[in-house]
Amino acid sequence: MAAISLIQTTHEHNPPTHHAPFPPCKKIVTIWDKSIGQRTETAQPAKLVATCIKHMLLTENFSVEVLKQFPVNTPPDHQMDCCIYHPGERFKNNACWDSLEQAVIYGEVDDPDLIPDAFIRSLTTAAHEFGHAFLQYHSREGLVRHSQSGAIDESFADIFAIMVKHFQKGIVRIDDFTDWRIAAGIYKNDPEKPLRDLSSPVIYHANIYDHRDVDGTIYNNSGIPSRAFVMAAHTIGQPIWKVIGPIWVAAIGKVESNETLADFAQKTIQEAERLFDEAIAKAISDAWDVVGITPGVETIEKTNDI
Ligand SMILES: [Zn+2]
Strands (E), 224-294: none
Q: 262-296, pLDDT tens digit by residue?
A: 999 999 999 999 999 999 999 999 999 988 899 88
pTM of this prediction?
0.86
Residue 129 Cα to ligand 1 midpoint, Å, equals 6
Question: Where does the chain hold its CATH 1.10.390.10 domain(s)?
Answer: 147-290
- The mean per-residue pLDDT over the stretch 125-141 comes to 87
Percent of the chain with pLDDT strictly greater than 70: 78
Q: 22-71, pLDDT tens digit by residue?
A: 555 555 677 777 777 777 777 666 788 888 888 888 888 888 788 876 54
Q: 137-149, pLDDT tens digit by residue?
A: 888 788 998 889 9
Residue 220 Cα to ligand 1 midpoint, Å, equals 12
Phi, psi of 31 (to 5 degrees): -135, 145
Q: 205-232, pLDDT tens digit by residue?
A: 655 667 666 666 888 889 899 999 999 9
Residue 172 Cα to ligand 1 midpoint, Å, equals 25
**CA dihedral of 169, 171, 175, 179, whole degrees rounded to 10:** 20
Residue 244 Cα to ligand 1 midpoint, Å, equals 20
Closest CA to 93 of 104, 103, 112, 108: 108
Whether pLDDT at 12 is above 80? no
Amino acid at 43: A
Residue 9 Cα to ligand 1 midpoint, Å, equals 6
- Does 199 or 251 have the greater pLDDT score? 251
Residue 13 Cα to ligand 1 midpoint, Å, equals 12
Q: How far is CA 66 from the centre of its chain?
A: 17
CA distances from 296 to 140, 206, 251, 260 (A): 19, 21, 13, 9
Q: 147-160, pLDDT tens digit by residue?
A: 899 999 999 999 99
- Give the up-direction half-sphere exposure of residue 250: CA atoms within 13 A in the CB hemisphere: 18
Residue 96 Cα to ligand 1 midpoint, Å, equals 7
Residue 51's pLDDT is what?
87
User: How far is residue 198's CA from residue 60's CA, in Å, rounded to a whole number?
Assistant: 23
Whether pLDDT at 16 is above 50? no
Question: Where does the chain hold its CATH 3.10.170.10 domain(s)?
Answer: 25-138
User: How far is residue 108's CA from residue 270's CA, in Å, rounded to a whole number?
Assistant: 43
Burial class (CB in 10 A: 0-12, 13-18, 19+), 273: middle
CATH number of 147-290: 1.10.390.10
Residue 221 Cα to ligand 1 midpoint, Å, equals 12
Residue 53's pLDDT is what?
83
Closest CA to 259 of 235, 225, 282: 225
Residue 84's pLDDT is what?
76
**CA dihedral of 204, 129, 283, 303, whole degrees rounded to 10:** 50
> Helix, strand or coil for residue 305?
coil
Whether pLDDT at 4 is above 60? no
Give the CATH fold of the 25-138 domain.
Answer: Elastase; domain 1 (3.10.170)
Residues with CB under 5 A from ligand 1 (ion): 7, 154, 157
